[in-house]
Amino acid sequence: MELNMRPAAPVERLYAYEQSLRIAERCGNPGYLYGKLEQPNIMPFFLWDRMIPAEDTPEFKAEFKTVRSVLRVNMRYGPVLANRMALMAYCHSYPQAGFRNGYEYAFRADTEKYSYLIRCVLRGDDGDSYIYIYPYRRECLERHMERAEKGIRFITPQCEELFRASDGDMIRTIGEFGSSYDRMVRYVDDCHAEIGGSFYSIREFAESLERGGSKVIPLRSSLPERCFSVTPGTKDLVIIEKGGLSHCVTGTGAVGLSARENADIENKTMGVSKAQEAAMLAGAMFGWDTPAADPKNYDGSGHLIKPGI
């Protein structure tokens, strides 16, 4: 069997978790396999949880059995299903597959008809390791991800677009009296989304916000949680929290350096790019739902690619 296995891209990691029934149907997801690896050299015991019975066909079962065998015995693939030691060694050989501070790793393995998203948890809350395999019909998964690349539209009740959120990003709903709460959004189709696990048409969600006197802003994953910047007019050193306002911190930083120099030092330490800083400053000044608050609209020097947006 030809199995093309590689580290999963960040957007593909979304599919290395259990999906809702709506998304599972659209992606051709029969179910998922779960295994716990308690002993270093003992093969894990697996359990199968069915999601979409119509996808759990004899053809799929036959292929999945072969895939599991390959992942258990073929050294080319770890073998990740052999035991905990083999799983950990394979994950550590692909650091680009790691996320959540290196506690989890995700891989994608493709055959001609199916894609398998494999998530490895090297140390769970109980200290044991776990592995999850989520199979999808490849053409369905790729079609859904391609459509999801357009983002989830947030609109007014009059259908005017406010902004788009990337699949899997967070949004913040701000109430009439300033209370707020954050929720993850998932793409279902061009007119529907799952917001905090609840299913909405995008117009229905807009109408519910209007009735409650609330508004919504994106918390783009492409933005850092915070950064340092300099106010355009007063040239004060400020710190900006994602989704919030800027706070003046003049008087901090290295003595003898300008606010700009201190901001650059702090941002470099945190890994914040010029484009991200520019987008964060625009978000704090003009609103987080504006195009100027998106780092994709800036070049590497922090200059707008399309002036005037």
Q: Is the pLDDT higher at 106 or at 78?
A: 106
Q: State the residue for tokens 């201190």.
A: 262
Q: Which helix (H) or strand (E) holds 63?
A: helix 58-73
Nearest-CA neighbor of 161 among 151, 175, 172?
Answer: 151
The pLDDT value recorded for residue 131 is 94
How does the average pLDDT of the chain come out, rounded? 93
Q: Against a cut of 0.75, is the pTM above it?
A: yes
Query: Mean pLDDT across the stretch 142-159?
Result: 97
248 pLDDT tier (thresholds 50, 70, 90):
confident
Q: Which has the higher per-residue pLDDT, 283 or 256?
A: 283
Q: Binning pLDDT at 50, 70 and 90, where does residue 51 land?
A: very high
Is residue 168 within 8 Å of 14, Cβ to Cβ? yes
Q: Read off the pLDDT of residues 271-292 as tens digits, 9 standing for 90 and up.
A: 999 999 999 999 999 999 999 9
Angle ∠(263,264,267) on CA atoms, nearest 5:
80
Per-residue model confidence as pLDDT tens digits over 160-188: 999 999 999 999 999 988 899 999 999 99
- pLDDT score of 306: 78
Rounded Cα distance between 167 and 146, Å, is: 11
Q: What residue spans of 106-201 are helical by DSSP H?
A: 138-148
CA distance 129 to 133: 14
